[in-house]
């Protein structure tokens, strides 16, 4: 793919333009990964999904925060099977709010039908014809799905049916019907694997409470990416361009992204472009700083208003921006949630106080951030006295940090932590 090998630097403006184009192909901040050689990390989740697929009667639910990489994993995981699994066929449909149980399965069967026609892999012509008519018009029941899947595929074939964005479905019966479908496929030992994918904190919010179905469901939680996985996104791309990334630049991107791969892509892309504009093959920290400005500009439309709703005030001495920034910098777990104590630590630094701020100093701010009046920028979880908080829209978290950097609110020490991993790094 790369026309420029290391040591073979672009010479003409046309060469640099071509390199810029390649960078735009490798970094994909707004689309899921489709090829596994550009897919980073996620070993544990892949193993669990593979095990669920191998076991007859087992199905999976892949859930986590928005933007952590669920669709990418669902797209590439079928490619990652050991080559002995020759008969795997993966189908993926995306739910939209107007869908009900029947329309979701109509989409699935339409996809299967198209594939069967294209590949000529159906059992017989009559099966193919039945498949074509199956999705037209009528209501589909869990039993219909079980019978059709059993009939369409030969015993050696294992279809993987990924139903993405399942959290979007509004049909109140869809959860129970889907649970019944999974139970029925499992009870009859049909060799098909259903993978339900969606934004959710736990599996019951995605599919409801169905204790008898839980036994046949593998729960795969998709956490935020750890630092090694985020670094891998860059390592899999920048050398392909014949470029190098300075250590400080690398860690700044890794830390700023707060575990969200789309930010690694955005910052990676804009930093690369900034270096290319300087006609340099080495990406430096200054390029990342340029990238931050461009990211803020790009996200202006989608996030600035939310940010304003969360932090606006007529009083000059209010601390909304500072407290929200402290939340964004606070040490969080792999689901992005943090405690008031960890906010206090960051707020103390932001305000340059000598003594640590008590959590009571910003309790009211947190209550407001959770309320609809401030756009519910934060969500509260846990029990009283052990409350935790997280950004309702995870994408807001790196945005708030970058806003803080731009406005000079993130103190010098926080920035130096971002720049110098040897001195410690921002926790995630």
Ligand X SMILES: Nc1ncnc2c1ncn2[C@@H]1O[C@H](COP(=O)(O)OP(=O)(O)OP(=O)(O)O)[C@@H](O)[C@H]1O
Q: Which spans of this chain sit near Mg ion (rule: CB under 5 A)? A: 71
How far apart are CB 209 and ligand X at their closest, in Å? 23
Residue whose Cβ sits closest to ligand X = 69
How far apart are CB 356 and Mg ion at their closest, in Å? 39
Judged by CB under 6 A, the stretch of 109-117, 261-269, 304-312, 412-420 that binds ligand X is: 261-269
Nearest to 22 by CA among 294, 292, 265, 269: 269
How far apart are CB 364 and ligand X at their closest, in Å? 31
Question: Which own/partner pairs from 203-209 qualify as long-range (CB within 8 Å, at least 24 positions apart)?
Answer: 203/61, 203/63, 205/167, 206/61, 206/63, 206/166, 206/167, 206/175, 207/61, 207/166, 207/175, 207/178, 207/179, 208/175, 208/176, 208/179
Binding footprint of ligand X, residue count (CB under 6 A): 21
Contact between 402 and 306 (Cβ < 8 Å): no
Q: Is 199 a residue that touches ligand X (CB under 6 A)?
A: yes
Nearest to 147 by CA among 121, 106, 181, 99: 181
Interface positions, 376-415, toward ligand X (CB under 6 A): none
Alpha helices in 188-236 (DSSP H): 203-207, 211-214, 227-235
Structure tokens at 368: 């407001």
Judged by CB under 6 A, the stretch of 37-45, 80-88, 144-152, 406-414 that binds ligand X is: 37-45
Q: Is 4 a residue that touches ligand X (CB under 6 A)?
A: no
Contact between 253 and 288 (Cβ < 8 Å): yes
Residue where the block lists tokens 């193993």: 47
CB atoms within 10 A of CB 135: 20
Q: What is the x/- site pattern for ligand X, positions 148-177, by CB under 6 A?
A: ------------------------------
Among 28, 53, 191, 392, binds ligand X (CB under 6 A): 28
40 binds, among Mg ion, ligand X, none (CB under 5 to 8 A by kind): ligand X
Among 2, 16, 18, 29, binds ligand X (CB under 6 A): 29
- Given the rule CB under 6 A, which residues bind ligand X? 28-29, 31-33, 39-42, 66-72, 199, 233, 261-262, 265
């Amino acid at each position: 793919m790369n026309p420029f090998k290391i040591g073979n630097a672009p010479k003409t403006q046309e060469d640099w333009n071509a390199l810029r184009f390649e960078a735009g192909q490798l970094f994909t901040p707004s689309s899921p990964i489709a090829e596994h050689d550009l897919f980073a990390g996620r070993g544990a989740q892949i193993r669990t999904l593979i095990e669920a697929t191998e076991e007859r009667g087992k199905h999976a639910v892949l859930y986590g925060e928005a933007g952590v990489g669920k669709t990418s994993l669902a797209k590439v995981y079928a490619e990652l099977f050991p080559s002995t699994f020759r008969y795997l066929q993966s189908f993926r449909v995306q739910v939209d709010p107007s869908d009900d149980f029947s329309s979701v399965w109509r989409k699935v069967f339409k996809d299967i039908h198209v594939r069967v026609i294209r590949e000529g892999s159906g059992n017989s012509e009559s099966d193919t014809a039945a498949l074509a008519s199956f999705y037209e018009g009528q209501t589909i029941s869990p039993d219909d799905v079980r019978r059709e899947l059993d009939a369409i595929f030969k015993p050696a074939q294992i279809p993987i049916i990924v139903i993405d964005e399942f959290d979007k479905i509004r049909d109140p019966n869809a959860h129970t019907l889907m649970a019944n479908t999974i139970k029925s496929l499992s009870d009859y030992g049909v060799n098909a694997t259903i993978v339900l994918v969606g934004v959710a904190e736990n599996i019951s919010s995605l599919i409801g409470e169905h204790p008898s179905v839980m036994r046949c469901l593998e729960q795969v939680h998709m956490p935020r990416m750890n630092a090694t996985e985020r670094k891998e996104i860059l390592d899999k791309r920048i050398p392909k361009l014949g470029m190098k990334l300075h250590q400080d630049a690398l860690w700044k991107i890794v830390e700023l992204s707060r575990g969200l791969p789309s930010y690694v892509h955005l910052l990676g892309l804009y930093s690369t472009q900034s270096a290319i504009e300087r006609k340099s093959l080495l990406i430096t920290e200054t390029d990342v700083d340029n990238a931050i400005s461009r990211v803020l500009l790009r996200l202006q439309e989608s996030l600035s208003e939310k940010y304003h709703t969360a932090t606006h005030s007529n009083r000059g001495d209010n601390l909304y921006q500072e407290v929200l920034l402290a939340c964004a910098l606070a040490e969080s777990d792999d689901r992005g949630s943090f405690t008031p104590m960890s906010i206090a630590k960051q707020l103390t630094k932001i305000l340059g106080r000598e003594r640590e701020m008590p959590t009571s100093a910003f309790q009211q701010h947190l209550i407001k951030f959770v309320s609809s009046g401030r756009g519910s920028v934060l969500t509260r979880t846990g029990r009283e006295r052990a409350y935790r908080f997280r950004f309702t829209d995870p994408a807001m978290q790196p945005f708030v940090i970058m806003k803080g950097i731009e406005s000079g609110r993130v103190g010098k020490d926080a920035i130096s932590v971002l720049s110098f991993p040897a001195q410690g790094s921002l926790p995630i």
